[in-house]
Every structure is written in structure tokens, then in C-alpha cells.
Structure 1
């Protein structure tokens, strides 16, 4: 079910079998898939999987929260604000890792796609909140993005910009110094010129 939930437009039976049982022969993998589908039909009174020829997909009646988050995220990155009353729910959804306890190889690319989307959405939301002077939630959202990818500069820069907008110059400089030290320690690189220029603007003339 989880595999099909990640295939928004469905998938071919052979492709699903190959990815779910990569260590099996195609014949064995196809048999495993038939068995899994049979168990799913028996376990649920209402059909949750549709089979159309060689295609598989979740039934339209099955709601997938990940799909909802993707749709809302796409709207935010397109420049739209979340509808009233949905902002907190979206932020909470974006904080969640994708099936964190699952070791399956087929999740690697799906997790990368999810992480990239939620990073961009959180950063965009933080900038929207900052623009409306909602500095506390803006900072919280930007820090959530930092937690997902600590080496990503964009989120750190937004944190600094929020501090600067609040007049907390020392906090902004501390964020920069912590980020700079982390990059040098872990990657032996320095922050970008854009971030350095942001810090230089804080220095007394």
C-alpha cells in the first residue's frame, strides 16, 4: 500500500514487482505481488487497489496525506499563501520524514524528492511570514528547514534575515558564525559571497 501511495498516477505491475522484490527473479517477484494483492483484498472490505490490465493504482476513495502536502506545497512555491486555517497543518506535515523507519531501497529517491519539496516550501513560507512581520513563526519555519538539511545555506540565510528584520543583529551574526564554523569543520568550504555580503552589511562603518 505504501509503495502504491507514492505512485500518484499508478504503476505497471512488472515495475512494482521489480522494485518491491529486487532480489527475486521476475517470475518470483510477480508471484509475490499477486499474493500481496490477494492479501490486501481479503484484509479490506472496501477495495483499496485498482487493477486495470497491467496497471495498478490506489482506489480514488483512498486519501493519501502525502499527496495533499504535495498539492499544498506546489501552491506555496507558486507564490500562493496557504488557505486560512491550513497553515499550521501544512507546516506540521512538512516537518515529517517520509517513512523514516523503512529501509527499502525504493524509498531513496522518493525521500529525496520529498525533502527537496518540503525545504523549498518551508523556505517560501518563512519568507511569506517575514514579509507580513510574523517573525516568530517565520523563524520557527526557517529553523525547521535547517533541521532537515543543516548544510543548506538558503534556510540559514532566511534565519539571519528574520533576526535582522527584528533588529537582532548580534543573533544574526551568531547564526552566520555557527554556520561558517560548521561548513569549515565538516566540508572545508566557506559560505557563499551572498551570505558574506549579508554579514558585511551588519558591520559598523
Structure 2
């Protein structure tokens, strides 16, 4: 962007402005990321309590003031708006997570034109702020993981319907990497192998999944999944 800045939180934290990387100190990074995940804005006190939960209110407030100084401007670009006691990212800041979330939500809800599937798969395969272990990130990460799981499954089924078997298989594997115990992407992968005539691959995918469930959870795949390969194997 020529006039604004790009904030990336679906990959290692990064800010670019005018094509150049902008160095942001740690406290400023945390505040910018927190506000990116609170698109409606956040009260100063809430931001301080979430970002510095182990500090006293006075210390947390002081840390917030430091973070504001670090993150308020990204080069010539205003980064944080402050109205009364509410903080929010400035409109000039573009966040990669927002575009990916909105596209995934539209896909899952069936609202509007379907997004570019291949581009969206790449975004949905990304972890939110990898390497960060902040407690306030637990719920946003869980929400992101659930949304991207459903979106990846929907995309895999869309690719499968279109006969794009490779894209469908890669998309289902991306979903499996997020939650290896979830059955839906395994079932889609089995169906793709069968559609291609790769019976051995379908059976292997099923058997690998069955072993995982038995080893880790002491449960079996659903009858619906088992029925796909029942006539292909003696087990």
C-alpha cells in the first residue's frame, strides 16, 4: 500500500510501510496485534489487563502507555486511534488476518461470491501469530482454527466437485494438519482417492486414521467413513 501500512499476524509478526519493513518493539507489537484481533476497538483498561495480566493495574497502565508510544505511528502512518478510553487500529492499517477471516466466513456461510480458492487455502494454512504464547491469544487462536477448519473442508469439497482432485486433496490435508482427529477431512481425502481410482491410497488413509483414533482415543471411525472402504478391505 502506498499510503497505509500492512500488518501481518498470520505469519511471524511483521509491519511493512511503503514496501519497507518497520521495526516495532515488543510491547508495541503486542498492542498492535491485540487491536488487530479486536476490530471494534478495546478499552484501555481491558487492553492493559489482557496484555499484562501478571502486573498490578498501575504497572499494566504504564506498560500500555509505553506500547502506545511504540506503536502509535509506523513511520509517517498513524497506526492507533484513541477516542475517549477506546483504542483501535487506524483505518490506514491493513491486516492480513481480516481479509482471510472475512473470506473464510463468507465461504462457510454461503454469503456472496466464492473467494479465490487457491489463495484462500494458503491463508487458511497459516497459524495465528506463530511462536507467541500469550494467554490472551488462546481464544482468538481457537476461533481461527475452528473457522479455518470449516472453510478448508468446504473448499476441499468445492474442488472435489469441480474435479480438481489435487487441490481438493491438498486442501483436505491442510485441514488434517490443524486437527488430525477430525473425521471430515479424512473422509474427503478417502473420497478423493476413490474418485481417482486410487483404491490402495484410500484404504491406507482410512487405516492410518483408524490406528490414530484407536491409539490416542480408543474409538473407531464412524460407520459412514467405514462404509466407504468396507468392500475394499477385509478389516
TM range, smaller chain? over 0.9
Q: Deviations over 1:71-126 (max 9, x none)?
A: 1101111236634xx32221111111111111111111111111111111111000
**CA offset at residue 14 of structure 1?**
0.8
1:173, CA displacement in angstroms?
1.4
TM-score, L = length of structure 1: 0.92
| Distance apart, 1:202 and its partner CA | 4.4
Larger mean Cα displacement after TM superposition, 132-141 or 195-204: 195-204
Selected match of 1:20 from 20, 35, 51: 51
Partner residue in 1 for 2:162: 132
Residue 31 of structure 1 is aligned with which of 34, 59, 62? 62
Cα deviation for residue 63 of structure 1 reads 0.5
Question: Residue 48 of structure 1 corresponds to which residue in structure 2?
Answer: 79
Question: Which among 69, 74, 78 is matched to residue 105 of structure 2?
Answer: 74
More off after superposition, 191-200 vs 97-106: 191-200
Higher strand share: 2
CA contact (8 A) 2:107 2:151 kept: yes
Residues in 2 aligned to 1:130 and 1:172: alpha-carbon distance in whole angstroms: 15
Higher relative contact order (CA 8 A, sep 6+): 2
| The structure with more helix, counted as a fraction of residues | 1
Deviating runs (4+, > 6 A) in structure 1?
A: none
SS in 2 for 1:106: helix
The residue correspondences of 1:148-167 to structure 2 (distance < 5 A) are: 148-167=178-197
Aligned length: 202
The equivalent position to 2:173 in structure 1, one of 143, 160, 169, is 143
Please report the TM-score for the alignment, with normalisation by the length of structure 2: 0.81
Q: Which residue does the alignment assign to 1:177?
A: 207
Which whole-Å CA distance do the structure 1 matches of 2:166 and 2:105 have between them? 24
> Per-residue deviation at 1:38?
1.8
Q: How far did residue 169 of structure 1 move? A: 2.2
CA RMSD in angstroms comes to: 1.7
Structure 2 stretches of 5 or more lacking a match?
Answer: 1-31
Structure 1 unaligned spans of 5+: none
Q: In the TM superposition, what is the alpha-carbon distance from 1:35 to its structure 2 partner?
A: 1.7
Structure 1 match to 2:29: none
Distance 1:3 1:90 in 2: 23
- Tell me how far apart the structure 2 counterparts of residues 34 and 98 of structure 1 sit (CA, whole Å): 25
Q: Distance in 2 between matches of 1:64 and 1:43?
A: 14
Q: Distance in 1 between matches of 2:72 and 2:54?
A: 25
